Amino acid sequence: MLSRRISISSWNQIWRALLVLTLSSIGLSVIITITILEMTMTGEPGATISEHEVWVNAIAYSILIPGIVCPVIVYMLLVTLRELNLARAELDAVANGDPLTGLLNRRGFDAAGAGLIAQAGSRHQPVCALMCDIDSFKQVNDTHGHDCGDIAIRHVASIVKTVMEAVPNASVGRQGGDEFAVLVTGLSSRELAHYAEIIRQSVQSNPIAWNEDTIPLTVSLGTSMSAGGEDTTVRVLLSRADRALYEAKLRGKNRVEAAAQAETA
């Protein structure tokens, strides 16, 4: 069984190839049949066979050759397509994934987010964005080193991903450095604030271990929301959420701020 879905265009190519191979095999069978008839008519020693045997052999060859050749070749094509699909998936993961956290990188997140926004627009659903940033991350790097900083980034990324996995139609990505983004459809502002608060509390209550130290972490979060059917983009939503995140930093860090509050403050 193939481990990757084969596209419709790939199936069309397979059927075309199967048709060509079948016709080629039938053509080969006809050539063999004609050769047998020619051998029968020449009367060469050991070549003469009855007319009944000619037709039996002709039918056998006509069925046997396409029946063996075509499935073998098609199987080889399917294996090749499977390998190509796996290679394409690996290339997509490299192109769209963040190697440190396993989340989507900015490019992958923008593509996934654009799809969510289009889907939400057709359903007249709201689209929500969330920006998350580790508080005093530079101090973590300066005090404990960049290896510890990488662990902190992976730790927070894992929490954000775990929390948002419970939400349908959510995309999570790393925007760079210690900043993460979430785009999700179909949530109310209250539900969005609820998940943001879960992330904040989870990070605060789960410090990371580094050598013999336990290092506490906190995050600040900003949220934004568009009305159902509103014409918007990933960058517009994230820009609003980023302004709310900046307001959370100004108000003391380790908190959640909504864009409406930040922009009217």
Q: E strands within the chain? A: 127-134, 170-176, 179-185, 208-210, 213-215, 219-226, 256-258
Q: Which of 68, 35, 73, 27 is nearest to 54 (CA)?
A: 35
Q: Tell me the two tokens of residue 76.
A: 């080889």
What does the angle CA 155 – CA 137 – CA 167 come to, to the nearest 5 degrees?
A: 40
**Known catalytic residue at 242:** no
Other C-beta atoms closer than 10 Å to the C-beta of 62 total 17
**Half-sphere exposure in the Cβ direction for 137 (13 Å, CA):** 20
Measured CA to CA, the distance from residue 255 to residue 31 in angstroms comes to 81
Measured CA to CA, the distance from residue 136 to residue 117 in angstroms comes to 32
Judged by DSSP in three states, 110 sits in: helix
Query: What's the order of all strands across the beta sheet hosting 170-176?
Result: 170-176, 179-185, 127-134, 219-226, 256-258
List the catalytic residue out of 98, 110, 133, 178. Answer: 178
User: Which residues are identified as catalytic?
Assistant: 178
